[in-house]
């Protein structure tokens, strides 16, 4: 039971660390992502402060200027408000992504959000992470088992011919590298977290 729990926890950490950074980049450029939602609330309240956390300190001036212009224009008409708001959303998201070293390709509709990110947001809103943990753990557990079974089966016939031997090697490499990535990403901090701690040496495997 203890080993199963450890595997589920490892699986959870793996997917969060490995996939969340990339998926979050995409999530932040959607119309119902956290950056735009923060921008909407800031515009309605006339308070820019909540939006500044999404950009680096050196970019605050540009955001403040865009916010001021948006507030002035959106008072003119409904159409002006929509255009001004979109201008601010685009500006905030573009600068946020630039700060993350990611390209900006325009705002995307809400349905572009990956299910795992939607579930992450739900967890934060509800204060309960159980469903997210299960979702991630199930995905990784399935991945390990499928690769293991394929490697196990191909190993039985690895010595029958060169072709079958190569099939086993391919399955073996995929299986071991997958598990290795689980371990590496569970023990190495995400690029979003700055630390002076030394990272473990990467093991050169196959």
Together in a domain, 38 and 20:
no
Residue 206 lies in a domain: no
Together in a domain, 74 and 98:
yes
Instruction: Please identify, among 39, 73, 107, the residue that sits at the C-terminal boundary of a domain.
Output: 107
Helix (H) or strand (E) holding 168: helix 162-187
Q: Which residues of the chain have pLDDT under 70?
A: 1-27, 110-113, 189-206
Tokens linked to 109: 């509709």
At 33 the pLDDT is: 83
Cα torsion at 38, 40, 44, 46 (round to 10°)?
60
At 159 the pLDDT is: 94
**Residue range(s) defining the domain that contains residue 61:** 31-107
At 192 the pLDDT is: 52
Residue 78 lies in a domain: yes
Together in a domain, 186 and 144:
yes
Together in a domain, 100 and 148:
no
At 21 the pLDDT is: 42
Q: How many domains does the chain have?
A: 2
Instruction: Please identify, among 72, 107, 142, the residue that sits at the C-terminal boundary of a domain.
Output: 107
Together in a domain, 88 and 137:
no
Residue 95 lies in a domain: yes
Residue 68 lies in a domain: yes
pTM (2 decimals)?
0.53
Together in a domain, 41 and 92:
yes
Instruction: Please identify, among 67, 86, 107, the residue that sits at the C-terminal boundary of a domain.
Output: 107
Together in a domain, 126 and 185:
yes
Together in a domain, 35 and 54:
yes
Return the HEC string of 87-131. Answer: HHHHHHHHHHHHHCCCCCCCCECHHHCCHHHHHHHHHHHHCCCHH
At 29 the pLDDT is: 81
At 73 the pLDDT is: 95
> Per-residue pLDDT tens for 77-123?
999 999 999 999 999 999 999 998 888 888 888 665 677 777 888 88
Together in a domain, 137 and 170:
yes
Together in a domain, 135 and 93:
no
Residue 181 lies in a domain: yes
Together in a domain, 103 and 127:
no
Together in a domain, 20 and 35:
no
Q: How many CB atoms lie within 10 A of CB 165?
A: 15
186/184 Cα distance (integer angstroms): 5
At 112 the pLDDT is: 57
Residue 200 lies in a domain: no
Residue 162 lies in a domain: yes
Residue 203 lies in a domain: no
Q: Are 11 and 185 in contact (CB under 8 A)?
A: no
């Amino acid at each position: 039971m203890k080993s199963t729990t450890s595997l589920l926890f490892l699986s959870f950490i793996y997917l969060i660390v490995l996939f969340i950074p990339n998926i979050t980049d995409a999530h932040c450029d959607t119309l119902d992502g956290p950056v735009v939602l923060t921008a909407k609330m800031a515009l309605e309240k006339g308070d820019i402060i909540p939006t500044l956390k999404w950009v680096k300190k050196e970019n605050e001036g540009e955001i403040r200027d865009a916010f001021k212009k948006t507030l002035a224009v959106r008072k003119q008409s409904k159409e002006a408000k929509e255009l001004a708001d979109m201008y601010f959303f685009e500006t905030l998201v573009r600068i946020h992504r630039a700060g993350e070293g990611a390209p900006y390709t325009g705002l995307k509709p809400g349905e572009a959000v990956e299910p795992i990110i939607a579930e992450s947001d739900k967890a934060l809103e509800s204060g309960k992470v159980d469903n997210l943990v299960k979702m991630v753990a199930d995905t990784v557990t399935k991945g390990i088992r499928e690769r293991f079974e394929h490697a196990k089966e191909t190993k039985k016939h690895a010595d029958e011919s060169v072709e079958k031997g190569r099939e086993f090697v391919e399955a073996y490499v995929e299986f071991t590298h997958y598990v290795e990535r689980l371990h590496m990403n569970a023990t190495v901090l995400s690029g979003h977290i700055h630390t002076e701690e030394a990272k473990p040496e990467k093991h050169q495997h196959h």
